[in-house]
Amino acid sequence: MTALGYVIRPEHPPEDLPELARRVEAAGFDELWFWEDCFWAGGIATTGAALAATSSLRVGLGITPAPMRNAATLAMEIAALARLYPGRMLPGIGHGVADWMRQIGALPASQLALIEEVIAAVRALLAGAEVTTDGRYVKLDRVRLEQPPADPPPVSAGVRRPKSLALSGRVADGTLLAEPAPVEYVEWAREQIAATRPHRLTVYAWYAMGADGAAARNSVRDVAAGHFRRGGPHIDALGLGAMTGDATPDELIDRLGVVVGTPEECAAGIRALAAAGADSIPLCSPHPKPPADDIERLGRELLPLLR
């Protein structure tokens, strides 16, 4: 069964996170996800706060940037949370936004090499192995965690493009696709990942839900237009070619955002993402500050249609 989650964006101040996490759990979601943007609250701290505030909710960090973390210390932090809250920690590691990584002096010459080395080392350390490696970026000399988790959490790679997706299929336990993620992009990404062992695909999905489906679409029209102008593999997967201008038809908003419209339309979008291969679908507002009652409204009007 596909897990349903909710994303708390980094614009929320950290002191609000425990209560928000409790609300997500009470609403009936399976998972809660954060991401670590510069220069908001740190991802390990926010993940730990949400785990501490809830009792059964799985909490994902999707993602922490590999250039910002030493592989050994990252494994130590993940191991601590995995032992404190068994089966509830879902770590994700990504490239990081290039401009931010450059801003802090951490942009690697090869993002692919760095993330592969970090994920490989973190997974091995979490499994209790002694790791010695002299890689291009990760250099460890007989490092072993003193307190690895009994059940290591699956480590996902937060990536988007073909080479990174193929890398994720080789070295990670799962892949996290950032929002917005059209159905065609999810299907294409699965093909690029080409995993030969169990591989968890987490798909962040935009949501815009209301009794008036037209009003819900209008609320994301400007954000959708920006994505179509910028392009990227998630846009290329739609097969539309280059687009300019700000007029974004409802059909394109539905294809890009998927979980948009009335509750019934949003439920259909979630089912389509699940059919395309999504194992977990965290709902993410395209706006920094969604309406205050969104969590409860989704739990009341959308989740019952999917159980």
Share of the chain above pLDDT 70, in %: 98
Say what the pLDDT of residue 91 is. 98
Taking residues 165-174, report their average pLDDT.
98
pLDDT at 166 over 70: yes
Say what the pLDDT of residue 18 is. 98
Fold of 3-212+263-306: TIM Barrel (3.20.20)
Which pairing describes strands 31-34 and 58-65: parallel, antiparallel, or unpaired?
Answer: parallel
- Predicted confidence (pLDDT) per residue in 46-83, tens digit: 999 999 999 999 999 999 999 999 999 999 999 999 99
Reported confidence tier of residue 84, pLDDT bands at 50, 70, 90 = very high
- Predicted confidence (pLDDT) per residue in 266-275, tens digit: 999 999 999 9
Instruction: Residue 9: count other Cβ atoms within 10 Å of its Cβ.
Output: 17
pLDDT at 244 over 90: no
Whole-structure pTM value: 0.96
pLDDT at 152 over 80: yes
Cα dihedral 60, 62, 64, 65, rounded to 10, equals 160
- Predicted confidence (pLDDT) per residue in 118-133, tens digit: 999 999 999 999 999 9
pLDDT at 283 over 90: yes
Reported confidence tier of residue 36, pLDDT bands at 50, 70, 90 = very high
Mean pLDDT (the chain, rounded): 95
Residues written for the chain: 307
